[in-house]
Amino acid sequence: MTEPQGSEERQPVTPADAPGIDEMMDEAIAGVIAEEELAAAAVEGDVSQAQLALAELTNDLQRLQAEYANYRRRVDRDRDLIRENAVGGVLTQLLSLLDDVDRARQHGELEGAFKTVGESLEATLTKLGLEPFGATDEAFDPMVHEALTTESRDDITEPTVISVYQSGYRFAGRVLRPARVAVAGTD
């Protein structure tokens, strides 16, 4: 019988038998190193991209937090303004009632339980911030006084309130109703 070809025992190849093996190994090692360097560069690129994305997201978050804080301040301010306007509207409607109480007091008709109710009403409205103004002998201010009559007097150097026909009222720094007064001044 004949032995089939290729069944010979193979001998390991030594570098002396294959002269180009060193170059092939060097090329293979260089290829692996290049791939590792590329992978490291890609990771470094991913890290720098991740850092840029993190910085951008941090800026977005800070901007949103600032917008939210501004929104809260605006809502609080608007809420206070709405409350102030609502209270001012109610107080304006109650001014005629205060005028009635004042007229009753001037005519001596405010006695007993009605006196207590009138004083309680005035105290409550004062607690809410209603401020009456307009008294005799105070300087005339056209921003808060409405001059119904005027008279000329030599003993007065500046326009002065000499009589109050109807008290004026102020709430939260704004005039709800000017005081209606008589004014004396020099010509």
The count of residues in the chain is 187
User: 3-state class of 161 per DSSP?
Assistant: strand
Specify the pLDDT at position 5.
56
pLDDT digits (tens, 9 = 90+) for 41-50: 677 777 788 7
Going along the chain from its start, the domains and CATH numbers come out as 131-187 (2.30.22.10)
Q: What is the pTM of this model?
A: 0.61
Task: Give Cα 6 distance to the centre of its chain.
Answer: 91
Of residues 183, 165, 167, the one with CA closest to residue 175: 167
More confidently predicted of 183 and 14: 183
